[in-house]
Structure 1
Amino acid sequence: MDLITELFSRHGLLAVAVAVLLHQLGAPLPSTPLLLLLGAESASRDGFALRAFGTVTGAAMVANALWFWAGRRLGRRVLAALCRISISPDSCVRQNEVSFARRGVLTLLIAKFVPGLSMLAPPLAGALGMSTGRFLAWNLLGSALWTGAGLAAGWAFHAQIDALLRELSQLGSAAIALGVAVVAAYLGWRLWRRSAVRRELNRLERLDPAEVAALRQQGCQVIFVDVRGGPRDSRLPGARHLDLGALGGPAVAGWPPEAEFVTYCACPNDVSAARAAQWLKAQGYQARVLRGGIDAWQQAGLSLEAV
C-alpha cells in the first residue's frame, strides 16, 4: 500500500473533497476512482474510513445544496443551461423528470449512481418545489449511500487496487498518456454522435405558435403531442401524451392517420419533440415540431388547458 499511502500523505482528504465538490458541480473529474482509493487506504489506517466518509459526504452535500438553491431560484432555466452543456442534451431534462415522476424522492437515493442524474437531480428537485428539509434529508441519505458503497468497494478490493497502481507506476508517463487518449476518444465519439443526431433532427420542419394557431383557425385537424416526461399541470388544447421511453405501435393506436400532429416539449432545442416527430413520421403520420415548445406557446399569449 506504499503508493496509496504516499498519494494521500501528499494531498490528503482535502484534495479529494475538492475533487468531489467540483465533480458534483459538473466538472469532469473522476470522483468514483478517488472513492475507491480512499477505501483502499482505509484498509491499512485505523479511523481513516470514518474521516473519509464524513469528508466526501459533506463535500457532495455542499455541491448538491448549491444546485438545489439554483433550481429553486431559477427554475427550469438552470436545467436548460445544464442540458445545453451536457453531452446528451436530447434526453437530459426528460429522463430526470421521468425519474422524479416515477420514483419521487427516491430519485435522490439513486442519483449519484446514474450518469447524468447526479448533477441534475438537485436543481430539478428545487425547480419542482421540493421542501428544503425533505431535500436535505433524502440527499444526505443518497450521498451517504454513494460514499459508503465506494469506500466499501475500495476496501474490499484494496489488494487489487494497490497492484494496479504499482503496474501503472511502472508504465510511468505512458499510463497517463493512454488514459488521456481513452478519455479523449470517448468524449470525441460522444460529441460527434451528438452533432450527427442534432443535424438529423434539425431537418424536421418546425412551426411557430402563430403558424399552428392559424392552421387551427383554418379548420385543419391539428393534434398536439405532449412529450414532456415529468408532472404536467397544464398542456396545449387537446394534447395527447406520448412517452418517448415506451414508443411502439400501441402508443398511437387509434390516432387518426389524416391528422396533422404537432409535437412539443419543454427542452433545449426542442430535441425531444423532434425525436417524437421523427418517430411519428416513421409510422406514417404527418408530424411537425412546435418551435420553442410550450414556453413559446405561452409567450405568444395562446391558451392552455388543465391536465
Structure 2
Amino acid sequence: MDLSQITEAIQRDAVWVVFVNVLLQQLGLPVPAVPTLLVAGSLAASSGQAGAMLAAAVAASVIADWVWYLAGRIFGYRVLSGLCRLSLNPGSCVTQTEARFMRWGVWSLVVAKFVPGFSTVAPPIAGSLRMPLPGFLAAAAAGAALWAGGAILAGWWLRDELQSALAMMSRHGSTMIVGLALALGGWIAWKLWQRYRFEKLAAIPHVTPSELIEALASDAPPLFLDLRGAALIATRGAVDGARAAEIDNLLRAVGDWPRERPIVTMCACPGDATAVRAAHVLGDLGYAAARPLKGGYEAWLAATRAA
C-alpha cells in the first residue's frame, strides 16, 4: 500500500482510522497519532466531519485513560513501575512522573497529552491515588480535546501545505523512509546509550533487605532514606525506621549524620534508579558508605512481611 492509498483510506474511513489510531497510541503502543490527526484534519470535507473526528479521538483517548486509571486503582504503583520498565531509559521514571503529577495536580491530566512519555503514565498515577472518577474523566476529556482538536485544526489550516507535502512524499517515498529510519535509529541509539550509562551507574554494591533488617536491629544502625515520592508514601504508608528524603535535597534529610556511618537509600523505581542516583550523590558529598537497597520498596515490603 503506497502513500496515496493510505491517504484514501483515511479520507474514506477517517473517523474509524482516527479512533483506532488514538486508542492504540494511548494504550501505549508505539503508533504516533498526531500525523494521522493532521492528515485527517487536512482531508476534512466539512466542519461536521472534523467534529466527528474530534469526537472519535476524544472518546478513544478517554477510554484508554480509563483503562489505565482502573489498572492503577487496582494494582497501584506496580502498573507504573511496569510501564517504566518498558522504557529504554527507565531511570527515575517513577520519580519524575509522580513529581509532575504532584506539582500540577488535576491539570497534569490536561497537559499530559502534550508531554512525551507522560500521557500513558498519568492515568495510573491518578488511579493509584484514588482520584475521583468524575474529575478524572473530565480532566482526561479536556486534555484529549485540546490535544486532538489542536492537531485536527492545524491540519485543516495547513491543508494545502500538507497535501503538497504528502504529494512530495509520495514521489520520494523511498528517500523519506530512509530518512525516517535513520532518525528513528539515532533516537533508539541515544536511548540505548542512556540505558548503558545508567547500568554502569547501577553497578555498585547494594544492600539486600535481609542485610538491612539485621543492620537496623544492631547497636549501630544505618541511616535509612526513603526516596519514594510523597504521593506513594501517603498511599502506601511510611516505612518504620526510614527517613523520608528527596533526591534534590539529600543534605536536608541526612542532617548531621556522620560521614563515615552507613546510609541505605530506597526507592520504588525499576532498577532502583533513584536509590542508585542518591547513593552516588551522597558518595560525591563524602558519604562513602552510602548504598542502595536491592529491589527497592517492594523487596523491602516482602522481606519485612516474611520476617
When the two structures are superposed, what TM-score results if normalisation uses the length of structure 2? 0.87
**Contact 1:100/1:230 (<8 A) preserved:** no
Counterparts in 2 of 1:161-200, with a 5 A limit? 161-198=162-199, 200=200
The corresponding residue for 1:280 is: 282
- Specify the SS of the correspondent of 1:225: strand
- What is the CA deviation profile of residues 183-223 of structure 1, one whole-angstrom value per residue up to 9, with x for unaligned ones? 1331233123213312x133111111221222233322511
- Give the Å deviation of 1:120: 0.8
Cα RMSD after superposing both structures: 2.5
**Contact 1:112/1:143 (<8 A) preserved:** yes
Query: What is the aligned length?
Result: 299
The corresponding residue for 2:213 is: 213
Distance 2:249 2:49 in 1: 49
> Residue type matched to 2:67 in 1?
L
Change (3 A) 1:10 1:173: farther
- Specify the SS of the correspondent of 1:51: helix
Change (3 A) 1:41 1:72: same
Counterparts in 2 of 1:51-130, with a 5 A limit? 51-130=52-131
Distance 2:256 2:149 in 1: 50
- Give the Å deviation of 1:39: 2.6
The corresponding residue for 1:297 is: 300
The corresponding residue for 2:15 is: 13
- Specify the SS of the correspondent of 1:197: helix
Q: Within the alignment, does 1:225 sit opposite 2:225 as a pair?
A: yes
Counterparts in 2 of 1:228-267, with a 5 A limit? 228-231=228-231, 232-233=233-234, 234-244=237-247, 246=248, 254-267=256-269
> Residue type matched to 2:23 in 1?
L
The corresponding residue for 2:151 is: 150
> Residue type matched to 1:203 in 2?
A
Structure 1, gaps ≥5 residues long: 303-307
**Contact 2:22/2:60 (<8 A) preserved:** yes
- Give the Å deviation of 1:91: 2.2
- Point out the more displaced range, 247-256 or 291-300: 247-256
The corresponding residue for 1:30 is: 32
- Point out the more displaced range, 229-238 or 3-12: 3-12
**Contact 2:244/2:253 (<8 A) preserved:** no
The corresponding residue for 1:160 is: 161
Distance 1:98 1:295 in 2: 20
Distance 2:256 2:164 in 1: 61
**Contact 1:95/1:229 (<8 A) preserved:** no
> Residue type matched to 1:218 in 2?
S
- What is the CA deviation profile of residues 84-104 of structure 1, one whole-angstrom value per residue up to 9, with x for unaligned ones? 111221122211211222222
Structure 2, gaps ≥5 residues long: none
**Contact 2:275/2:292 (<8 A) preserved:** yes
> Residue type matched to 1:131 in 2?
P
When the two structures are superposed, what TM-score results if normalisation uses the length of structure 1? 0.87
- Point out the more displaced range, 87-96 or 232-241: 232-241
Change (3 A) 1:170 1:131: same
- Give the Å deviation of 1:125: 1.2
> Residue type matched to 2:41 in 1?
G
Change (3 A) 1:31 1:247: farther
